[in-house]
C-alpha cells in the first residue's frame, strides 16, 4: 500500500485529500503513477495531462525528475507552491 | 536554527531579542517580513487562507536554513511562517538571519526568502470580490531562486 496525498487546488478539484491504494504491479515510478492516475476519469486526465504544471513529492522530498516509488511510500501531488 | 509553522502571529522584536541574546559574535542582523496586501493581480483581496503539508513543510524550511548556513557565515537564523486565515495587513512570514557582518546577513536572508517562495510547500487561496481563488505560482519567483544557482556553485 502507498499513501497518496493531494493539496490545495488539486485536492479541491479531485475531491480527495488522501487515500491508501495498492500500487498496481505496472507502477514503480512517479511517471507510471501519473499515467495510471490519468485513467481515473476526465478530471484526472486533465489535471495530470502532459505539460500540466504540478509537483510530486515522494516521502516528503521533492521529486525533481522521474522517481521510483514502492510499497509504503507517501506520495504527494500538489500545484507549484505559493507561500511567503 | 528553529523553524515554526503556526496560526498565531509573531513579534519580530521578541524573536530578534531571543536570537541575539548573549551572543557577542553577532554583529549584524537582517530580517524580512512578508505581509498580506489588499490587492493582487488587479483585484481587491479581502483575505486569504494558507495551507501547508505538515511534516514536509517544516523539513523544507530547515533544509533552506541549512543551505544558507552552508553558503554564508550564518551564526543563527529562524523562519516563522503562518497558516490558516489571514487578512490584509497581517504578517505572513518572518525570516531573521544573524551573522558577524552585514553582507552575509543580507545575502542569506534574501536567499532564504527566494528559496522559501519556490520550494516550501505552502499554498495561498485568496478571497476576492469575485470569490475565492488559488494563487498561481509566479515565473519571477522561479527566476529569483534560479539566480542563486548561477552565482553560487555549491
The contacts of residue B153 (CB under 8 Å, 6+ apart) are none
Longest dimension (CA), chain A: 40
The contacts of residue A82 (CB under 8 Å, 6+ apart) are B122, B123, B124, B134, B135, B136, B137
Give the residue with greater pLDDT, B63 vs B149: B63
B42: left (phi over 0), alpha (psi -120 to 50) or beta: left
Residue B44: its pLDDT value, please?
93
The contacts of residue B59 (CB under 8 Å, 6+ apart) are A60
- Confidence class of residue B151 from pLDDT cuts 50, 70 and 90? low
Average pLDDT, integer, range B42-61? 96
Average pLDDT, integer, range A6-13? 98
Average pLDDT, integer, range A41-52? 95
Residue B55: its pLDDT value, please?
97
B59/A60 CB distance under 8 A: yes
B121/A7 CB distance under 8 A: yes
A83/B123 CB distance under 8 A: yes
Which of A22-26, A56-60, B66-70 is predicted with the least confidence, judged by mean pLDDT?
Answer: A22-26
Which of B51, B55, B117 has its CB closest to that of A8?
Answer: B51
Residues of B with CB under 8 A from a CB of A: 34, 50-53, 55-56, 59-60, 81, 92-93, 113, 116-125, 134-137
Q: Is A7 helix (H, G, I), strand (E, B) or coil?
A: coil
Average pLDDT, integer, range B67-86? 98
Cα R_g (chain B), whole angstroms: 16
Average pLDDT, integer, range B147-152? 72
Residue B22: its pLDDT value, please?
92
- Only one residue has cell 552565482, namely B151
Residue A64: its pLDDT value, please?
81
Average pLDDT, integer, range B61-77? 97
| Helix axis angle, B56-71 to B102-119, nearest 10° | 150
A57/B93 CB distance under 8 A: no
Q: pTM for this structure?
A: 0.93
Which residues in B lie closer than 8 A to residue A7 (C-beta atoms)? 51, 53, 121, 123
B93/A80 CB distance under 8 A: no
Q: Calculate how close chain A gets to B24, using CA atoms only, in Å.
A: 31
Amino acid at each position: 500500500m502507498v499513501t497518496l496525498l493531494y493539496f490545495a487546488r488539486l485536492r479541491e478539484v479531485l475531491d480527495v485529500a488522501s487515500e491508501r491504494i495498492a500500487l498496481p504491479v505496472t507502477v514503480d515510478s512517479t511517471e507510471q503513477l501519473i499515467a495510471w492516475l490519468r485513467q481515473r476519469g476526465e478530471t484526472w486526465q486533465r489535471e495530470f495531462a502532459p505539460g500540466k504544471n504540478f509537483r510530486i513529492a515522494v516521502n516528503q522530498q521533492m521529486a525533481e525528475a522521474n522517481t521510483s516509488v514502492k510499497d509504503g511510500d507517501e506520495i504527494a501531488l500538489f500545484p507549484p507552491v505559493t507561500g511567503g | 536554527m528553529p523553524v515554526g509553522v503556526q496560526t498565531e502571529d509573531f513579534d519580530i522584536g521578541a524573536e530578534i531579542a531571543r536570537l541575539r541574546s548573549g551572543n557577542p559574535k553577532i554583529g549584524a542582523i537582517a530580517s524580512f517580513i512578508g505581509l498580506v496586501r489588499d490587492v493582487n493581480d488587479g483585484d481587491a483581496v479581502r483575505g486569504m487562507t494558507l495551507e501547508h503539508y505538515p511534516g514536509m513543510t517544516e523539513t523544507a524550511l530547515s533544509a533552506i536554513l541549512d543551505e544558507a548556513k552552508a553558503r554564508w557565515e550564518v551564526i543563527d537564523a529562524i523562519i516563522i511562517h503562518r497558516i490558516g486565515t489571514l487578512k490584509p495587513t497581517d504578517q505572513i512570514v518572518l525570516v531573521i538571519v544573524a551573522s558577524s557582518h552585514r553582507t552575509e546577513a543580507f545575502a542569506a536572508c534574501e536567499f532564504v526568502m527566494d528559496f522559501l517562495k519556490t520550494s516550501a510547500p505552502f499554498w495561498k487561496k485568496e478571497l476576492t470580490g469575485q470569490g475565492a481563488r488559488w494563487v498561481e505560482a509566479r515565473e519571477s519567483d522561479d527566476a529569483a531562486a534560479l539566480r542563486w544557482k548561477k552565482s553560487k556553485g555549491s
